[in-house]
């Protein structure tokens, strides 16, 4: 399960405004490489929404099935707010609904076949019919 913990306003290049929901996964225990002690943490991710600000505000505190998973991506620079240090990351955290939650290997296989002719999730055939 993940919980909606906040929302943020974003602006598109053309000036339109939309809102993203900030999600947080369950508590995880991680062992510090420096102190060798455990500390509690939780993964966070943002998802875009079509909701107005009032709806986003009302959704804070709501739980949803699924989890937040680490996903590799193109390298990008990230500034650590507390220290100002700029680091390069090649991963991000994404929300995966419960039914779609899978290993990185499963997602890679799914991506290979994404362009194949098939029925979509909503049952509408994608591709040409052959007699």
For 47-72, write each residue's pLDDT tens digit. Answer: 999 999 999 999 999 999 999 999 99
pLDDT at 100: 54
pLDDT at 119: 45
Query: Would the CA dihedral through 70, 62, 41, 8 be positive or negative?
Result: positive
**What confidence tier does 81 reach under pLDDT thresholds 50, 70, 90?**
confident
71 neighbors 62 (Cβ within 8 angstroms): no
Provide the percentage of residues in the chain whose pLDDT is more than 90. 61
Strand extents, DSSP E, the chain = 2-11, 17-24, 28-31, 38-41, 44-48, 63-64, 67-79, 86-96, 118-119, 125-126
**What confidence tier does 1 reach under pLDDT thresholds 50, 70, 90?**
very high
């Amino acid at each position: 399960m993940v919980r909606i913990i906040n929302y943020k306003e974003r602006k598109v290049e053309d000036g339109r405004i939309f809102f993203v929901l900030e999600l947080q996964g369950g508590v995880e225990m991680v062992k510090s490489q420096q102190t060798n002690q455990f500390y509690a943490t939780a993964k966070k991710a943002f998802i875009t929404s079509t909701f107005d600000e009032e709806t986003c505000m009302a959704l804070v505190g709501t739980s949803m099935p699924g989890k937040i998973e680490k996903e590799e991506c193109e390298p990008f620079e990230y500034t650590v707010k507390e220290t100002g240090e700029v680091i390069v990351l090649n991963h991000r955290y994404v929300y995966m609904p419960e039914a779609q939650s899978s290993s990185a290997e499963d997602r890679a296989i799914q991506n290979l076949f994404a362009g194949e002719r098939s029925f979509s999730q909503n049952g509408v055939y994608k591709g040409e019919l052959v007699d």
